C-alpha cells in the first residue's frame, strides 16, 4: 500500500463526508486527513493492526445467526473516522428530538383516544393491518406517556448533502455499545488526534440511559431497581446487553431470573432471595416477552410480566407495542404526524416513499422496480429487501408477485446516492458508503441525543448494505467542534 495521497482519492460524483473534492479535506476533517497523509504506509497498517488487536483483546464481538460453533465474530471496524461538524449536528439533533417527541405522542394516541384517526390524518385501515399494533396495550398510559424510551433512527446523506431519516427503530434498537467501543478503540490507536479537544465526547450515554430508566420507575424511591433483560448469549446483540448493564451498574437478567409474584409485581432471584424490580430495559421482542400473553412457546420471557406492566407495577422500556410506529409504511406518514401533533414542519426530511397499498404508488413501483429500493414493512437487518439497480430480472419478478399478493406489506424509495467516506481497504484508501444511527432517549421531561451515533459502512466496493450481519463494518463518528478556534470551552476571557 502506498502512502496516503488525498489528491489521488477518487470521490468524483459522490458526496464525501471528509473531503469536498480530491485533495481538499472539509474544515472539520482537515486535522485527521493531514495526520493520515503525514504518516507512512507502514504506520497506517500498524494503526489498522493495533485496532484489530484492541478489538480482539477488548472482546468486542457481534454474533451471527447460524454460524455453527463460532458464535462470535470480532467487530469489523475501520480506523478512519466519519466526521460531522458540530454546527451541522446541532440541526440534526433538533430534528431528531422533534421527530421522537411526535412519534411518542402518536403511539400514545393510537393506544388511547386515536384522535389522529378521528381527525382523518392517519387511515384507520393502516392500523387495522399493522402487525406491530398490540391489542393488549390498548388503554394503557405508561409513565410520562412515553412508549419509545430509546429510539435508533437511521440517517443517510444524499449526494446533494441533504441528510434524510431513512427509518426509525422503536422496538429494540441496537448498536449504541459499538458507538462507545469504537471511540475507545480510536482513542487507543490515535490518541494524538484527541488532544486537540475538538472531538466531542460520547461517553455520557450510559449515565443518560440510567437516568432516563430511573426516572421511569413506578415507585418513587431514590434507587429503583433497574435490570436489562436479554434473550441470552446467543442473541446477536448480547455483547451490547452485557456492556450496557455493566456500564450502568445494573443487573443483566434473563427471563428465568425474573418471576411475577401473586401481588403482580416483578421480582428477580438473587442470593438474598427475591428482589423487587421497578424498571426493565428489555431487549426481548414484544412477542416473546410474556408467554401468558404472546407466544406461549417463548422461554425467553417472563410469565405474567404484561400483567405487572398493565397494572403499573413495573415499567417496560421500550413499552410493548411501541413498534407500531416503526413500521416502514407508518414511516411515510411521519411528516404528517409531526405537523399534526406539534404544529410544526419537520426539521429533518423523510426519504420520498411510495406505499404499495396506494394504487398509484403501487403502479409506479411495479413499473420502476429496477430503480427503486423495495422494503417489506416490518423486517429489520436489511433482510428481504430488493435493491433495484443491483437486482436481476428474476428477483424483480419475484418482488412484483410479493407486492401484488400483499401490497400493505411493501413500500419503496428511490435509491439515494448514499454519501461515502474514506475507508481503509487492503491496499488503498477508497470511498465507501455510510449511514448513521444516532440514539435518542426520552423520559417525558427530557430528551437526549447521542453525540453523533454509530456510523455503519458497506465495506464491499459499491455496496449499499451496511448491516454487520451482511458484510458491513463500522467507524468511529466524530462530532468536531467548529465554533471559533476550537478551544476548550471556558478558556479565554
Q: Determine, following the binding rule CB under 8 A, whether residue 261 of this chain makes contact with another protein.
A: yes
Count of H helices and E strands in the chain? 14, 24
| Interface map 377-416 toward another protein (x if CB under 8 A) | ----------------------------------------
267 lies in the binding site for another protein (CB under 8 A): yes
Verify binding: residue 233, another protein, rule CB under 8 A: yes
Q: Which is nearer to another protein, 35 or 65 (CB)?
A: 65
Residue 425 as a binder of another protein (CB under 8 A): the answer is: no
Could you tell me the smallest distance in angstroms from the CB atom of residue 442 to another protein?
A: 24
Name the segment binding another protein (CB under 8 A); options: 55-63, 144-152, 196-204, 313-321. 55-63
Question: Does 243 help bind another protein (rule: CB under 8 A)?
Answer: yes
| E strand or H helix at 282 | strand 279-282
Binding string to another protein for residues 445 to 474, with x set by CB under 8 A, is what?
------------------------------
Spacing of C-alpha 427 from chain mean position: 31
Q: Considering the complex, state which of residue 265 and residue 459 has its C-beta at the smaller distance from another protein.
A: 265
Please report whether residue 207 would count as binding another protein according to CB under 8 A. Answer: no
Q: Is 276 in the site for another protein (CB under 8 A)?
A: yes
The answer to whether residues 39 and 435 touch, using CB atoms and an 8 Å cutoff, is no
d(CA 170, CA 133): 13
Q: Could you write out the DSSP letters of every residue in 140-173?
A: ---GGG-S-SEEEEEEEE-TTS-EEEEEEE-SS-
Q: Quick check: 253 binds another protein (CB under 8 A)?
A: yes
Only segment of 52-60, 400-408, 422-430, 471-479 that touches another protein (CB under 8 A): 52-60
Report the C-alpha gap between 454 and 62 in whole angstroms: 14
| Out of 158, 211, 251, 361, the residue judged to bind another protein by CB under 8 A | 251
* Interaction of residue 246 with another protein, rule CB under 8 A: yes
CB of 48 to another protein, least distance (A): 19
In the region spanning residues 211 to 230, those forming contacts with another protein, defined by CB under 8 A, are 225
Asked if 269 interacts with another protein (CB under 8 A), we say yes
The Cα-based distances of 98 to 213, 216, 325, 334, 445 in angstroms read 20, 21, 15, 11, 13
**What is the distance between the alpha carbons of residues 241 and 228, in angstroms, rounded to a whole number?**
7
Is the CA virtual torsion 214, 218, 220, 226 positive or negative?
negative
In the block, residue with C-alpha cell 398490540: 134
Stretch that binds another protein, among 7-15, 56-64, 313-321, 462-470 (CB under 8 A): 56-64
Q: Which value, to the nearest 10 degrees, does the dihedral of the CA atoms of residues 381, 383, 385, 390 take?
A: 100
> Which residues have C-beta within 8 Å of that of residue 46, sequence separation ≥ 6?
none
Interface ranges with another protein (CB under 8 A): 56-59, 225, 232-233, 242-243, 245-246, 251-254, 256-257, 259, 261-263, 265, 267-276
Amino acid at each position: 500500500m502506498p502512502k496516503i495521497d488525498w489528491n489521488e482519492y477518487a470521490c468524483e460524483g459522490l458526496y464525501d463526508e471528509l473531503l469536498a473534492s480530491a485533495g481538499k479535506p472539509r474544515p472539520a476533517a482537515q486535522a485527521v486527513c493531514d495526520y493520515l497523509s503525514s504518516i507512512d504506509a507502514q504506520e497506517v497498517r500498524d494503526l489498522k493492526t493495533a485496532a484489530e488487536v484492541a478489538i480482539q483483546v477488548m472482546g468486542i464481538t457481534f454474533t451471527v445467526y447460524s454460524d455453527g460453533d463460532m458464535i462470535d465474530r470480532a467487530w469489523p471496524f475501520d480506523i478512519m473516522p466519519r466526521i460531522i461538524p458540530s454546527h451541522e449536528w446541532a440541526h440534526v439533533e433538533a430534528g431528531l428530538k422533534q421527530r421522537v417527541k411526535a412519534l411518542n405522542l402518536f403511539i400514545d394516541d393510537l393506544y388511547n383516544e386515536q384522535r389522529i384517526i378521528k381527525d382523518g390524518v392517519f387511515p384507520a385501515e393502516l392500523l387495522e393491518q399493522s402487525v406491530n399494533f398490540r391489542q393488549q396495550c390498548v388503554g394503557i398510559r405508561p409513565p410520562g406517556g412515553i412508549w419509545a424510551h430509546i429510539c435508533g433512527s437511521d440517517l443517510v446523506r444524499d449526494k446533494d448533502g441533504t441528510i434524510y431519516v431513512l427509518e426509525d427503530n422503536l422496538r429494540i434498537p441496537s448498536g449504541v455499545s459499538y458507538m462507545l467501543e469504537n471511540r475507545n478503540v480510536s482513542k487507543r490507536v490515535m490518541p494524538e488526534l484527541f488532544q486537540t479537544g475538538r472531538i466531542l465526547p460520547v461517553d455520557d450515554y450510559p449515565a443518560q440511559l440510567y437516568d432516563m430508566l430511573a426516572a421511569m420507575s413506578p415507585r418513587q424511591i431514590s434507587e429503583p431497581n433497574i435490570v436489562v433483560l436479554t434473550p441470552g448469549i446467543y442473541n446477536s446483540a448480547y455483547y451490547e446487553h452485557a456492556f450496557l448493564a455493566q456500564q450502568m451498574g445494573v443487573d443483566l437478567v434473563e427471563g428465568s431470573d425474573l418471576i411475577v409474584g401473586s401481588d403482580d409485581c416483578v421480582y428477580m432471584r438473587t442470593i438474598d432471595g427475591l428482589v423487587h424490580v421497578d424498571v426493565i430495559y428489555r431487549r426481548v421482542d414484544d412477542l416473546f416477552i410474556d408467554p401468558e400473553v404472546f407466544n406461549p412457546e417463548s422461554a425467553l420471557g417472563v410469565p405474567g410480566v404484561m400483567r405487572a406492566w398493565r397494572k403499573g407495577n413495573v415499567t417496560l422500556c421500550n413499552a410493548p407495542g411501541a413498534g407500531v410506529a416503526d413500521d416502514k409504511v407508518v414511516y411515510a406518514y411521519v411528516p404528517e404526524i409531526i405537523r399534526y401533533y406539534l404544529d410544526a414542519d419537520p426539521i429533518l426530511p423523510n426519504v420520498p416513499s411510495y406505499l404499495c397499498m396506494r394504487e398509484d404508488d403501487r403502479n409506479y413501483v411495479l413499473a420502476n422496480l429496477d430503480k427503486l429500493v423495495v422494503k417489506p414493512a416490518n423486517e429489520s437487518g436489511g433482510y428481504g429487501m430488493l435493491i433495484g439497480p443491483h437486482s436481476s430480472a428474476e428477483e424483480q419478478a419475484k418482488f412484483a408477485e410479493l407486492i401484488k399478493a400483499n401490497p400493505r406489506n411493501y413500500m419503496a424509495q428511490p435509491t439515494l446516492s448514499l454519501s461515502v467516506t474514506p475507508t481503509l481497504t487492503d491496499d488503498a484508501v477508497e470511498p465507501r458508503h455510510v449511514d448513521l444511527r444516532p440514539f435518542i432517549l426520552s423520559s417525558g421531561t427530557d430528551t437526549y441525543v447521542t453525540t453523533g451515533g454509530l456510523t455503519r459502512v458497506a465495506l464491499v466496493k459499491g455496496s449499499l448494505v451496511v448491516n454487520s450481519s451482511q458484510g458491513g463494518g463500522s467507524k468511529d463518528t466524530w462530532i468536531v467542534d467548529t465554533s471559533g478556534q476550537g478551544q476548550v470551552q471556558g478558556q479565554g476571557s
